[in-house]
Amino acid sequence: FAENQILLRNLNSADGAPALLAAGPGGHLFVISTLTSGARAVELDLNGARLASLDLTQISSPTAAAVDSGGSLIVAGLGPASQGMVLRIDSQLQSATVLTTLPAGIRAIALDSSGDVFLTGVTGATSFPTTAGAYQTTPPGGSPNGFAAYAFLTEISPAGKLLYSTYFGSSHHCRWWRR
| pLDDT tens digits along 89-129 | 998 889 999 999 999 999 999 999 999 999 999 988 888 99
Nearest to 167 by CA among 81, 104, 85, 109: 104
User: Could you tell me whether strands 38-44 and 29-35 are parallel, antiparallel, or unpaired per DSSP bridges?
Assistant: antiparallel
**pLDDT band for position 20 (cuts 50, 70, 90):** confident
Tell me which of 12-26, 28-42, 104-118 is least confident.
Answer: 12-26
Judged against a pLDDT cut of 50, whether residue 19 lies above it is answered with yes
Q: What is the mean pLDDT of residues 1-17?
A: 46
Q: Tell me, what amino acid is at 84?
A: G
pLDDT for the residue numbered 24: 76
State the pTM of this model. 0.82
| pLDDT tens digits along 46-90 | 888 888 888 888 888 888 899 998 889 999 988 888 899 999 999
The rounded mean pLDDT for the chain is 81
Judged against a pLDDT cut of 60, whether residue 158 lies above it is answered with yes
Judged against a pLDDT cut of 70, whether residue 139 lies above it is answered with yes
Q: What is the 3-state secondary structure (H, E, C) of the chain?
A: CCCCCEEEEEEECCCCCEEEEEECHHHCEEEEEEECCEEEEEEECCCCCEEEEEEECCCEEEEEEEECCCCCEEEEEECHHHCEEEEEECCCCCCEEEEEEECCEEEEEEECCCCCEEEEEEECCCCCCCCCCCCCCCCCCCCHHHCCCEEEEEEECCCCCEEEEEEECCCCCCCCCCC
Question: Exposed, middle or buried, 47 (CB in 10 Å: 0-12/13-18/19+)?
Answer: exposed
